[in-house]
Amino acid sequence: MNKLYQAKHELWLSILFASFAIGDKQIKRDLYNFSTIEFRHMKWVGDDILKNGGDYDYDRSKILEKGTSVFNILDHLLGELKETVALYASDVLGMRMKTDEEYMISYITALLDNKDNDAPITAFDMHRTYEDKYLPQEQVDALTMFLFEESYKEYELILVYSYMQAKTNDILHFNVFQDLIDESHFHLQSFGEMMAKMGILALPRELHELTYKITDIEKFIINGIAEEEAAKEMCRSLSDAIKDDGLKRFFDFINYQENYHIELMKRLLP
């Protein structure tokens, strides 16, 4: 089951980052929706492991497929889906995951059958420009650093809160964790899309188990609030540094959301 959990974790990342990399709006939307299904699969597999007295981790060996075309990426996804389907047991959960992914396989196969769906991919080419906006080099550098740091933070928070949610019997904690997971999914999607537009899309670094195997929840929450405050300051600094009105409004928007994240986290304190 732990091997399966790692495979599901890696498949979630593959589909999620493929959705960031591909420009076609419909394919992007469909792949992102598939990634949310894969994330639920991860949760269910993790719940089964815990129910049977085991534990799971977030170890991974995945290397991001940096394709130069839509078909490069879809071909890789197809192979990964077929490999993962072979890992399932014939129980109810296994059949649910199998049938979900058989549909995903048929969807991707249909895309590959139509050459009109192919297109170049620039998400990994390091061009470091953002759409048609002119940003001086120091602003590009600041934006690049922000996106790398914050995409890791959101990935980390998704996994940490998911692990804590799976271990709690407190309904308040469960609900707050769910809100924070949902918010971090949105932020990771936003930052991943921006990274792809700049040609700097990359996987966040792997988590050490001490990051999510929390022994002192109160200390974790206090440190988490400080981390959110630091993220707010990064957003504010970036908003001040970047002169483009659209980008400034986006980072102000993220900054205001971080305010409420802090309030949510305070609900977890005794």
108 plus 130 within the same structural domain: no
DSSP the chain: -HHHHHHHHHHHHHHHHHHHH---HHHHHHHHHHHHHHHHHHHHHHHHHHHTT--------------SBHHHHHHHHHHHHHHHHTT--SSHHHHHHHHHHHHHHHHHHHHHT-GGG--B--TTS----BTTB---HHHHHHHHHHHHHHHHHHHHHHHHHHHHHHH---HHHHHHHHHHHHHHHHHHHHHHHHHHHHT---PPPPPPHHHHS-S-HHHHHHHHHHHHHHHHHHHHHHHHH---HHHHHHHHHHHHHHHHHHHHHHTT--
117 plus 131 within the same structural domain: no
Last residue of a domain, one of 92, 121, 150: 121
Last residue of a domain, one of 58, 89, 121: 121
133 plus 88 within the same structural domain: no
- Split into its structural domains, the chain has a count of 2
Q: Per-residue confidence of the chain (270 residues) as pLDDT tens digits? A: 789 999 999 999 999 999 999 999 999 999 999 999 999 999 999 999 999 999 999 999 988 889 999 999 999 999 999 999 999 999 999 999 999 999 999 999 999 999 999 999 999 999 999 988 888 999 999 999 999 999 999 999 999 999 999 999 999 999 999 999 999 999 999 999 999 999 999 999 999 998 999 888 899 899 989 988 888 888 888 888 888 888 988 988 998 898 899 999 999 988
63 plus 137 within the same structural domain: no
94 plus 210 within the same structural domain: no
224 plus 249 within the same structural domain: yes
pTM of the model: 0.95
Last residue of a domain, one of 87, 104, 121: 121
Residue 9 sits in a domain whose CATH number is 1.20.1260.10
137 plus 267 within the same structural domain: yes
127 plus 28 within the same structural domain: no
43 plus 176 within the same structural domain: no
Q: What's at 46, amino acid-wise?
A: G
At 227, list the tokens.
């981390």
95 plus 22 within the same structural domain: yes
134 plus 86 within the same structural domain: no
Give the model's pLDDT for residue 229. Answer: 87
How far is the C-alpha of 142 from the C-alpha of 42, rounded, in Å?
34
107 plus 176 within the same structural domain: no
Residue 10: give the domain boundaries. Answer: 1-121
